[in-house]
Amino acid sequence: MVEGTMHRLIAPMLRGSLSRAGPLGRRPFWSNLATAAGYIVAYLALDRVSFLWALHGVDVTPWNPPPGLTMTLLLVKGLGYAPAIVLAPLLSSQLLPLVHVPPLVGMASALVIASGYAVAAAILRYALQVDIRLWRARDLALLILVATGAAGFVSFGFVAIYALAGLIQWRDTVEAAVQLWIGDAIGAVVLTPALLVARDRLRHVRLPRGIRFWLGALETTAQLLSIAISLFVIFGFDHDSYPFQLFYLVFLPVVWIAARRGLGGACWAVLLVQLGLIAALEFQYKSPEIIRTFQLLMFAVATTGLMLGAVVSERQRVSRALSDSQGRLRAILDTARDGVLTIHKSGKIESVNPAIELLFGLPARVLVERPVSDLLPAGHAFERLIWTARAPLMRGAREELDVRRTDGSVVPIELTVGQFGDPGDEHYTLVIRDISQRRQAEANARAHQLELAHVSRVSLAGEMASALAHELNQPLTAIAAYGRGCLRLLRQPAPEPLLMKEGVGQIVEQAERAGDIISRLREFVTAGTTQRSVVSVETLVEGAVALAQIEATQNGVEIRVHVAPNLPRVLADRIQIEQVLLNLLRNGMEAVLTNGASERLLSVDARETSSQAIEVSVADTGPGVAKELEDRLFEPFVTTKPLGMGLGLSISRSIIEAHDGQLRLISKAGAGAVFAFDLPAYEHVRSPETGRHE
């Protein structure tokens, strides 16, 4: 939900900041017009100033800056200014008549100039993807190359037109063209980079407060003056015809003020005009018909001015709100610790935040425009990301990946993908979180749990030491007895071979029995890294019961095992699960023995529950778990045993939870305890083994 909002907020900002100053983009028309006018004036001035002499009838200068100005305008503002760049040389050829040029020839040459530089600008911006801030050496080199080429094209075209028109001799064309080429090229190369760099600097400069105040005061004065002048022009002279003919002049100051100051300024302007009108009428026109006509015209001025003012005010508010929200977003993205990047549907990175730069160790200017697949692990298709963003069910879904940084190190990340933009012009947001710390913490916790489980197993084995020693003594006793018996037989003159065979056979068998006990115990207490394998539930139950059986037999406790047939296997750490089972069995055994119950029985049951999980339960015939202990049973250091550490159940629970299962007490007090845990079935294919019944 939060991410969806983020995407909606980011979208307009991105389009604003990432759009490439499209043709006459988003700026108001009058602003574009002013820029175009300024350009033309500057062009004419530069053209005039730099003129030295006419060579073969062509304006020739060693340094011709106007092409530099043209290139700059096209690169910064885009091709929308094409009319202005045609108009400027045309006016130059007509207004600065150093060499007389017929209008048709002027027009043709102006078109050649404009088209040459327009094509050059288009190539630089769109085909070569030149960054007009000139941050890279590549950008500047391309600019020089293309501008020089364009100057050559323009010079030869220009001279050819003059020659066709008969303004210069054909034999002079090459020399004239070369001269012109050099002048234009040097003009473009010297002026364009200077203007582009200056623009990049100026964009971030604000005028000092004092100067801004005085500029504002100057503008206000000019606006008041313009109202006064327009009224004076309308009423100040004694006109032959009706004065209404000049009334439209009053629209100019009103529109100016409304456009600059919005509704507030428009109200005052309209009020001032009305007052001025009334005052003027007092002195000059008394006829009611004339007054009515003036007031109707006034109505039109007021309506137009106020409406324009209202629209301008609204625009200002919207633009301020937009810039506020952009600033807020920028601040959020800059301070966010998660990396946020946006990509176009083509897979190119559009924007990145500082966290991304930090994560990948690359600056934004290198990342932007690169395909996002460069950042993702090999084989992780961008299409898959998009699919994740599009599928409604997957929205907001996280994915964990390992990405490679430039220094070769691998960082685990969590990735969330979102989508914004209109159909056909989709953009995507990627939120990337560095999860190496979380991974480290998880690994630490795992190692810790492993150690704890091991310690617990060793202490469990220690508690069983007496029973185990007895169990080991049995085969050793048998071996000694058989051995002595055999020796005794050998001392007889004719030892009975059958008896000898029985004795030696039993020695071997009992030695193997002792070995089994020792190896089972050793396996149980090994530290062991966690090793999960696919095992049958039967194996797990058998392993634990075999160890518990030793004490059970010595204490006259019966263990009944029932494993349902055809159980699916589970993915588990065999030793750890055996540890859990052994813990439960020993607890049960102690409960049964303290009770002095007539029936000393432990039942182990394994069956499949409906939800693709295997449930293993251990039930005893003891007194059950006391009500007040029930809630704290799985907490560490809670025990009812005089010598117990109270870790068995707590470790057992963490082991089962690490296996995505649950360990719980499912019996009522007083009815014997039943502990059960479940393990997710690893495979849905049945294991071929059949169940065990004892």
How many beta carbons lie within 10 A of that of residue 84, not counting itself?
Answer: 22
Dist CA 74 CA 121 (whole Å): 6
Residue 481 contacts another protein per CB under 8 A? yes
- The half-sphere exposure of 323 on its side-chain side, counting CA atoms within 13 A, is 5
How many beta carbons lie within 10 A of that of residue 612, not counting itself?
Answer: 12
Dist CA 314 CA 134 (whole Å): 37
Task: Please state, in angstroms and as integers, the Cα–Cα distance from residue 686 to each residue in 567, 577, 605, 613, following that order.
Answer: 6, 21, 18, 13
Task: Tell me which of 485, 528, 623, 636 binds another protein, using CB under 8 A.
Answer: 485
Least gap, CB of 481 to another protein (angstroms): 4
Dist CA 353 CA 339 (whole Å): 6
Task: Tell me which of 473, 519, 594, 612 binds another protein, using CB under 8 A.
Answer: 473
Task: Tell me which of 84, 189, 486, 674 binds another protein, using CB under 8 A.
Answer: 486
Identity at 612, one-letter amino acid code: Q
21 near 76, Cβ under 8 Å?
Answer: yes
Residue 479 contacts another protein per CB under 8 A? yes
Dist CA 694 CA 688 (whole Å): 19
Residue 474 contacts another protein per CB under 8 A? yes
**Closest listed residue to residue 390, CA positions, set 426, 414, 425:** 426
SS3 state of residue 162: helix
88 near 111, Cβ under 8 Å?
Answer: no
Task: Tell me which of 513, 562, 664, 692 binds another protein, using CB under 8 A.
Answer: 513
Residue 20 contacts another protein per CB under 8 A? no
349 versus 602: smaller Cβ distance to another protein: 602
Residue 504 contacts another protein per CB under 8 A? no
Residue 594 contacts another protein per CB under 8 A? no
Dist CA 586 CA 459 (whole Å): 13
| Piece in contact with another protein (CB under 8 A), picked from 182-190, 348-356, 411-419, 479-487 | 479-487
Q: What does DSSP assign to residue 530? A: -
378 versus 469: smaller Cβ distance to another protein: 469
| Piece in contact with another protein (CB under 8 A), picked from 263-271, 373-381, 392-400, 501-509 | 501-509
Least gap, CB of 465 to another protein (angstroms): 9
Residue 295 contacts another protein per CB under 8 A? no
Residue 689 contacts another protein per CB under 8 A? no
Identity at 137, one-letter amino acid code: A
Dist CA 315 CA 312 (whole Å): 5
Task: Tell me which of 193, 265, 475, 588 binds another protein, using CB under 8 A.
Answer: 475
Task: Tell me which of 141, 194, 445, 480 binds another protein, using CB under 8 A.
Answer: 480
Q: How many residues contact another protein, by CB under 8 A?
A: 29
Residue 477 contacts another protein per CB under 8 A? yes
Dist CA 182 CA 420 (whole Å): 50
151 near 188, Cβ under 8 Å?
Answer: yes
The encoded tokens of residue 618 equal: 């251990």
Task: Tell me which of 136, 317, 330, 488 binds another protein, using CB under 8 A.
Answer: 488
Task: Tell me which of 320, 398, 470, 641 binds another protein, using CB under 8 A.
Answer: 470
389 near 416, Cβ under 8 Å?
Answer: no
Residue 440 contacts another protein per CB under 8 A? no
Least gap, CB of 516 to another protein (angstroms): 13
Residue 613 contacts another protein per CB under 8 A? no
96 versus 461: smaller Cβ distance to another protein: 461
402 versus 496: smaller Cβ distance to another protein: 496
Least gap, CB of 582 to another protein (angstroms): 20
- The half-sphere exposure of 132 on its side-chain side, counting CA atoms within 13 A, is 23
Least gap, CB of 478 to another protein (angstroms): 4
Helices (H) then strands (E): counts for the chain = 20, 15
CA triple 218-200-91, angle to 5 deg = 65
| Piece in contact with another protein (CB under 8 A), picked from 170-178, 184-192, 475-483, 566-574 | 475-483
Task: Tell me which of 330, 484, 522, 560 binds another protein, using CB under 8 A.
Answer: 484
Dist CA 598 CA 251 (whole Å): 112
**Closest listed residue to residue 266, CA positions, set 202, 210, 310:** 310
Least gap, CB of 504 to another protein (angstroms): 11
| Piece in contact with another protein (CB under 8 A), picked from 218-226, 354-362, 504-512, 677-685 | 504-512
Residues 545-574 that bind another protein (CB under 8 A): 553-556
Residue 463 contacts another protein per CB under 8 A? no
Task: Summarize as ranges the residues that interact with another protein (CB under 8 A).
Answer: 466, 469-470, 473-482, 484-486, 488-489, 499, 502-503, 506, 509-510, 513, 553-556
